[in-house]
Structure 1
């Protein structure tokens, strides 16, 4: 059997680099192909103004002791440049680049059932254009990330616009001055919030086109003093142990009490405490029934609305940003973190258009015209319109299994995986931080380690027992699919149109794209599967 590697890894973010390091430690030959010019995955591509992580240090890092002994974070919530530095530090410690090909985009992969290998097509960028090469491996590991396929809404005539227009995920790598520019920002998800709050003070004018208000929370970012860094380093093993016990792998968890059983005074006191802690505490550290009981959820929304409207001086803008009637239950869309985002709308040069009341009619040569007939002129249009999340980055690659069908064709009638990491008819293929795994409900760094260790154990088991092929049983996929969707229906999440269920993409099937049972339940499922000798998989010699 002609092979170049035991395993080909696709993607150079947290998932990819952890798998490369871990498989090498286990004695496998592995090679990573990355479309970007450097490590970082999403943190290579995300170079728009204000790009910053929404999970605090020391949680947002790979939980391996040797990586954190000599790296000092500067801020509680690191920005893009610090994260790029962190990836370079990881390479310095682990020596990864000798087994990485950059500027190399995997475009397809075909399973060869006779030779029991994957034939992987890679487009490598050269000075005279892309060159296609093919490499062969026993297994492939897709670490494409949850947000690697940008979504461009079907606006009318976007090519008419003669100014600059960029999706936040395709921002120019070189810096760009915003001074004096007339800017439109379409979308108010995480990247939209970060762009608005970062450049509002610099631009001549800004119009924010908002489809759905963002229930953003104060980030509470600050510089990290040396004594705090020393504490993190000294206590890091204990902190990791704490992460290993919580729902999302954070250093805190849901409050044990119930909102509906608390007195108004108790409820107000806890909400105040969590809100002023900053970060995601008000979302993931609150009463355990907030995300399950609509009446309890309304208490959280009303508190957030009151706090937000106090910060916006113009009543009309305040109502658009934090309306009396909540568009969806609090926290059932990804909650963003902000730094004076709402205060930006107090500036005379910043306006907001509610697209559900006044949608975009068409792009023009000079700007954007809305349904009310008003045309606004811009020098730059920022598309903060999000992603075909979770599954989109996988199905955009032409991966074909033993029956000749692509993964996109298989999933067209609904996602089917086992444990969120394997799919029937795609032998020896593993998916990391993808559909039907905890993914958006845990950090990429923490998930990379959890899933990476399971994959490493699985591949070692195949090698030690001389198996050449593994894929989940049909009934295992169906059981996992039922479990994922049953857990998702237990709370309020399914009542909201969001990328958690694929409904941000017109025509995409509505289904639970994330495992919402929490990291503890997920790790238990992985442990049981491993201890049972991978009984839910078909193994072949």
Structure 2
């Protein structure tokens, strides 16, 4: 069938004609919908889940909560929203974050433009019309000028394909797809596979009721104490009064937090002063241990090793059994080269009589048996298995949608050797496709990253509409330059030395290794994006469909004339 026949078929079919389709109703998708509406566009979100929330809908495992402080894990676009919402804790639970997002959706009447239980299977760019045809699993189709993916950086759980899992006679769960109904651990033998951020949160709670908890660890983490606490009315009032300054700091901070830079490096202090500053950071808790102690922890190997050994000493102090403590100590990679989780009495859980730790770094899990987990020749009995094995970060969710750009090229083909983007927002060959927190955007406090990106996308679409232009697309040269910039930034740090780090896709067997995130800092990123916009969208090709057709026709005639 010709392209023209395809277009006629689309026009005559039952297709929803709309300005923009947003895929995903998490933090990014909700904010994007609000932005598009405010600019007068007809937009809809397509969401696979039965409710909004994205990560905060699916990740309802025991202990799930933010690792960002509540007052910055929120939207900044509405003063009224800030003034009326009360956070209860420093690090809110999954349920509280989910309630917050539902409150936002209700307050701004977003639900009427969200289609739930709708999984997108394909999105195809039509060069003739300059529009996208989006198809869902149930056969519905949407025809739009702008396609926005808000799929999330950590939205596709990774469950290793262990042999024998179908034979397991007990219950098994994946933390990233936790059931809505209550899961009972009381009196049961529980196996938790993995010791990443989700496992670190779940293990202390599961240990409280399980008859026996066996934790299988491949790579130990540097787990920082969260030091969570309940917010008082006085603290909430102070936060509200300080929001302008909070957001000013967060937008400039390398990782999007409202933290003051330490202003100190290893060379500025004596060994005793160094120790005292680290102690203060440990007691303050959270990521402040990294960002408010020394500015060179991620850059200088010696400064990093001092901080790394400090954490190892804390582990040995907390965990009573020396052998268990030694297994829990990371020894062969620098702190922060993998994303450090925040713990809520994580190490203390290993002092319980009903908790044991199994090292699978040298002897991996052989199979899942009918009665439990086999490691080498040893079998560990379990009634329940919890797979806390992380996510296929950055690109995973994109690989599950058939996205096709110019010439029918798929995004999977385009990214066969790793993602290539410009600004982590767009891809050459895929006009008018925008990514919110896409691969190669900053890694940091997601709401702060999201809002900057959404505003940039809104401005870009506004620029097109105001100037009666149809498409925007990065040049191949700008994509290549962005890729090189990512290499330069990460190679200036200690981050490439992380073991099995999802920063580089190294946690997924067979996944191309590459830089998945921008590590030049959230503040730097915002300035870079703004500079591109201020320069007339430097690095992008912007045109009308009619001029593109005329150019293609002239090229065709020229080629025909030379034959």
TM-score normalized by structure 2? 0.92
Query: What corresponds to 1:109 in structure 2?
Result: 123
What is the aligned length?
529
CA distance in 2: counterparts of 1:35 and 1:226, whole angstroms = 37
Deviations 1:319-355 (A, max 9, x none): 10115xx121011101100111111111111000111
Query: What corresponds to 2:162 in structure 1?
Result: 155
Aligned to 1:135, what secondary structure does the other structure show? strand
Aligned ranges 1:472-511 → 2 under 5 Å: 472-497=474-499, 498-511=501-514
Deviations 1:476-520 (A, max 9, x none): 111111001111111000122310001111111111110000011
- Unaligned regions of 5+ residues in structure 1, if any? 124-130
Query: What corresponds to 2:3 in structure 1?
Result: none
> Deviation of residue 253 (structure 1)?
4.0
Aligned ranges 1:383-462 → 2 under 5 Å: 383-438=387-442, 441-462=443-464
Aligned to 2:318, what secondary structure does the other structure show? coil
CA distance in 2: counterparts of 1:465 and 1:339, whole angstroms = 53
CA distance in 1: counterparts of 2:477 and 2:362, whole angstroms = 46
RMSD (Å), alpha carbons: 1.2
Query: What corresponds to 1:5 in structure 2?
Result: 18
Query: What corresponds to 1:534 in structure 2?
Result: 537
Query: What corresponds to 2:252 in structure 1?
Result: 245
- Contact 2:249–2:260 under 8 Å retained in 1: no
> Deviation of residue 40 (structure 1)?
0.7
Aligned ranges 1:308-327 → 2 under 5 Å: 308-322=315-329, 326-327=331-332
> Deviation of residue 535 (structure 1)?
2.5
> Deviation of residue 155 (structure 1)?
2.2
Aligned ranges 1:142-221 → 2 under 5 Å: 142-221=149-228
Q: 2:298 aligns with which of 271, 291, 315?
A: 291
Q: 2:66 aligns with which of 46, 53, 58?
A: 53
CA distance in 2: counterparts of 1:348 and 1:120, whole angstroms = 54
Query: What corresponds to 2:553 in structure 1?
Result: none
CA distance in 2: counterparts of 1:402 and 1:69, whole angstroms = 46
CA distance in 2: counterparts of 1:296 and 1:238, whole angstroms = 30
**Quick check: which has more Rg, 1 or 2?**
2
Q: 1:253 to 1:407 in 2, by over 3 A?
A: farther
- Contact 2:224–2:342 under 8 Å retained in 1: yes
Aligned to 1:351, what secondary structure does the other structure show? strand
Higher deviation after alignment, 259-268 or 299-308: 259-268
Query: What corresponds to 2:551 in structure 1?
Result: none
Deviations 1:14-53 (A, max 9, x none): 1000000011011111111111111110000011111111
- Contact 2:263–2:294 under 8 Å retained in 1: yes
Higher deviation after alignment, 328-337 or 230-239: 230-239
CA distance in 1: counterparts of 2:291 and 2:165, whole angstroms = 38
Query: What corresponds to 2:111 in structure 1?
Result: 97
> Deviation of residue 132 (structure 1)?
1.6
Query: What corresponds to 1:520 in structure 2?
Result: 523
Determine if the alignment matches structure 1 residue 224 to structure 2 residue 237. Answer: no
Aligned to 2:84, what secondary structure does the other structure show? coil
Determine if the alignment matches structure 1 residue 362 to structure 2 residue 367. Answer: yes
Aligned ranges 1:79-94 → 2 under 5 Å: 79-94=93-108
- Contact 1:185–1:207 under 8 Å retained in 2: yes
Higher deviation after alignment, 524-533 or 233-242: 233-242
> Deviation of residue 278 (structure 1)?
0.8
- Contact 1:283–1:335 under 8 Å retained in 2: no
- Unaligned regions of 5+ residues in structure 2, if any? 1-6, 545-563
- Contact 2:252–2:524 under 8 Å retained in 1: no
CA distance in 2: counterparts of 1:361 and 1:248, whole angstroms = 38
Deviations 1:268-327 (A, max 9, x none): 11101111001111122231211112111110011111112111011110110115xx12
CA distance in 2: counterparts of 1:166 and 1:350, whole angstroms = 19
- Contact 1:311–1:343 under 8 Å retained in 2: yes
Aligned to 2:141, what secondary structure does the other structure show? strand
TM-score normalized by structure 1? 0.96
